[in-house]
Amino acid sequence: MRTFMHGGAVWDVACPQRPSRVAGVSMAGFRVRDLEALRMVPHPAVTLLLEFGTGSPVLDGAAGRQQRGSLVAGPGFGSGGEARARGENIECVQVRLSPVIARAVLGVSPADLDGAAVSLGDLWGREASRIRGRLGEVPSWQGRFALTDALLARRHEAGPPVDPEVAWAWHRIVGSHGLARVDGLAAEIGWSRKRLWSRFRSQLGLPPKRAVKLVRFDHAVHRLVAGDGAARVAADTGYADQSHLHRDVVEFTGATPATVAREPFLAVDDIAWPSTGTPRPGCAAGG
């Protein structure tokens, strides 16, 4: 476990010593004594938050919506910058699910989340409270990761897969960092643009063009967090110019690129979600 410090944020962060047995699953553990109004930055994954501590995270969303405890949010959740997380004495396992496997794991399509955060209890019923209890009984982070991974693997095996063409298109979008052309994807799999648009949206929760935009944005903002200048990031990540990058960042986050580059939600990724897929020394050694 490592301590993440960023401005006034101080979090304990753990990550698994082994990759998940399910492709498309990554997770991290967080212990936060005092979380103050953390801006949720949209991400191209389905987020599954499993809390088990003495406190309870609170998510304040758009139009006064509020969620407490364990929850699920679809890809791109938080667009517009209106979603904020807060709470005291939070302990949780946060799972990022590729939209390609989310339907199998959750039991519903990400499209059914309709861009909002949903209580896990509303999806899984009593199983959600049982998971919370079991996570609280496990004394180590590695044990909690193993328990979570076993749960996800079981649900994934029993759930329905997405169309292979849809999965292929998603992986092309991610692999290109959002530079893939939707018309080109449809032509390569032999589908019409309309058919790809419909299947992709219903199975992954967002249309292909929005997926391209979200993946490109995610790549760009992590470059900004790493310290790269906005003009260079715009040129390298497929934006027409710096103004185009600025508009997308504001659309997704409600903030300027300079502000977003300082967001703890993004800065912690270097510890919690190492880009190489290999935890850094001390990230989750015990705890």
Q: What is the pLDDT of residues 10-30, one digit of tens each?
A: 899 999 999 999 999 999 999
End-to-end CA distance of the chain: 6
Q: Say which DSSP state 163 is in.
A: P
pTM for this prediction: 0.92
**Cβ pair 77, 159 in contact under 8 A:** no
- Rounded to whole angstroms, the Cα distance separating 269 from 259 reads 17
**Cβ pair 19, 31 in contact under 8 A:** no
Confidence bin at 7 (pLDDT 50/70/90) = confident
Q: What is the pLDDT of residues 64-88, one digit of tens each?
A: 788 899 999 999 999 999 899 999 9
CB atoms within 10 A of CB 87: 21
pLDDT of residue 131: 96
183, exposed or middle or buried, with CB in 10 Å at 0-12, 13-18, 19+?
Answer: exposed
Confidence bin at 280 (pLDDT 50/70/90) = very low
Domains in the chain and their CATH numbers?
2-161 (2.60.120.10), 164-260 (1.10.10.60)
Q: What is the pLDDT of residues 124-179, one digit of tens each?
A: 999 999 999 999 999 999 999 999 999 999 999 999 999 999 999 999 999 999 99
pLDDT of residue 283: 53
Residue 97 belongs to what H/E stretch? Answer: strand 84-97
- Rounded to whole angstroms, the Cα distance separating 281 from 106 reads 32
pLDDT of residue 61: 83
- Rounded to whole angstroms, the Cα distance separating 71 from 97 reads 13
CA distance readout (Å), 237 to 195, 207, 218: 28, 20, 10
**Cβ pair 24, 100 in contact under 8 A:** yes
- Rounded to whole angstroms, the Cα distance separating 76 from 57 reads 20
281 has pLDDT over 50: no
Q: What is the pLDDT of residues 229-273, one digit of tens each?
A: 999 999 999 999 999 999 999 999 999 999 999 999 999 999 998
Would you state the structure tokens that stand for residue 73, as one six-digit string? Answer: 């949010």
